[in-house]
Structures are given as structure tokens and as C-alpha cells.
Structure 1
Amino acid sequence: ADDYGMKGYVFVMLKTGTNTTTDEEFIDSCFSGHLQNIKRLVKEDKLIVAGPLGKNENKYRGIFILDVSTIEEAEELIQTDPAINSKLLAADLYKWYGSAALPVYIETSDKIWKVGF
């Protein structure tokens, strides 16, 4: 953390990708892998915030905040996501400056879940 209690992250805006398949089995498999990938990145202390967005005209689907310092590191991490790799989702990445306490969010979230994903 810097003197202001802040640090750099990479903010990922997930949006609808270019793959327009209607193969439900393929889509289900990719999004199951997407959730497994989220869990793995959390365990590796790389992903500290993730969640879906409500329907919107911009086709934004969700966000990630990654605890990495460069766009290149973030690109490597998101390419392990089957929904992104298959182009069902696309991602825009931005450097973001936020509270250095943000990683504590995961610990707190784990304490209040009634049903995990």
C-alpha cells in the first residue's frame, strides 16, 4: 500500500463476446469452467472481486478486479477462462487504483455466504 492506503489493480469489464453459438451443452460447459476458473483465481489470491451485472444495452456481463499490477499479467490470467477463450465473453482491461484493503473483501464474503457457488 502507498501512503494513502491505496494500490494498483486491474479492472476487467466482461461483455458479450463474438461467439454466437446456440449449442447449450457447449455454453453450459464453458460457463461451468468460468465459475471453476473464478474459484481457482480466488484461491491463488489473484481475483478479489467478481460478479455479474444486470441486463444492459451495452452488453456488459460482469466485472473482475484482479490483484495484479500490469495489464499483461491480467491478460494471461483471463485467458485461462473457458468463457473468454471460447469468445462467449470478451474482456476490456483497465489499470485501476483502489483501496489496498480490498483483498479483505473475500475473507469477509466467505464468512457471510449462506450458499457458496
Structure 2
Amino acid sequence: MKNILFTLLTLVCCNAFFAQETTAVYDEKLAKSLNADEYGMKKYVFCILKTGNNTTATKEEKNKLFEGHMANINKLAQEGKLIVAGPFMKNDKNYRGIFIFNVSTIEEAQALVATDPAVKANIFEVDLTLWYSSAALQEISKLHDKIAKTKI
């Protein structure tokens, strides 16, 4: 009986401990700096990179284009225009990767992808759409820098 009461008391205490809510404090200055709306959200442009129709590029040309592609990614990220970028794993949809642009129109995103040598050479083609998500997404690179042991 003692063991049952002890277990029950432990469960009640654990439940009380884990049930405590932590209320985040609204930071108006941060929200404004990230252009957040009243919900903490904002518009971005989501881009899916797909395999392009360039089938004639040599291995050396592709290597040079990918070097330019990575340099462009880093440049756009440093400028705050590119929030997230990354490749897809092998798939049957010809999806190669994604970009999330910190812009609010398709036209702005088109101008940014036009700076990518792999897109210009039709190694990749792009599909752009407006996307509504947390304005805090813009802070991801700061966090990523803290956890990436090796930099690209």
C-alpha cells in the first residue's frame, strides 16, 4: 500500500511540475525588427528547385555551376534574402532542393533565383509560391551558426 501511495504521489507531483505553463513574453521590438504581423507571422516565398532540362553540361561544367550555386546561396544568406536552403534526398519527383526567400513577392524571388548560375544554366528549374510562416524563421541562421561545427 505504501508503494502505491508513493507512486501515486510521485505521479501527481510530476504531473504538476510538467503541467506548469511557461508564458512567452511578447517582445514588440523584436517583432517589429522581423516585420512580424500581430500573429508573429509574415510572408516569404517558398521555392522548390527541380531538375532542369540541361542534359548536355559536362561534369566539369556542372562542378563549376554548383560552386557558383553554393557561393550564391551564401551571398543571399549573408544579405538576409535567403532564410533556408537545403537539398532533398533522392526522390521520384525530380525535386532537388528548397529555398525560402525573405521577400514578399514572387517577382522579388524571381530576381534572386536569376542570380543563381545553376538556374541560369537550366541545371535547376524553379517553382515559386507565396508562403506564410513565423517571422522568427529569420533567426534560424543565428541558431544554426551556433550548432554547425563545420562551416560550408
Give per-residue Cα distances to partners, 1:20-71, cap 9 Å, x unaligned. 1250110000000000000000111000000000111100000000000100
Counterparts of 1:115 and 1:41, CA distance in 2:
20
Of Structure 1 and Structure 2, which has the larger fraction of its residues in helix? Answer: 2
Aligned twin of 1:81: 116
TM-score norm. by structure 1 comes to 0.98
Aligned twin of 1:49: 84
1:98, distance to aligned residue in structure 2 (A): 0.3
Letter in 1 for 2:83: I
Identity %: 54
1:58-77 alignment, distance < 5 Å: 58-77=93-112
1:1-117 alignment, distance < 5 Å: 1-117=36-152
Q: Secondary structure at the match of 1:87?
A: coil
- CA RMSD, Structure 1 to Structure 2 (Å): 0.6
1:114, distance to aligned residue in structure 2 (A): 1.0
Of Structure 1 and Structure 2, which has the larger fraction of its residues in strand? Answer: 1
Q: Secondary structure at the match of 1:77?
A: helix
Counterparts of 2:148 and 2:52, CA distance in 1:
30
Counterparts of 2:126 and 2:103, CA distance in 1:
16
Q: Secondary structure at the match of 2:111?
A: helix
Counterparts of 1:116 and 1:17, CA distance in 2:
28
Change (3 A) 1:31 1:102: same
Counterparts of 1:25 and 1:63, CA distance in 2:
24
State how many pairs are aligned.
117
Runs of 4+ in structure 1 off by over 4 angstroms are none
TM-score norm. by structure 2 comes to 0.76
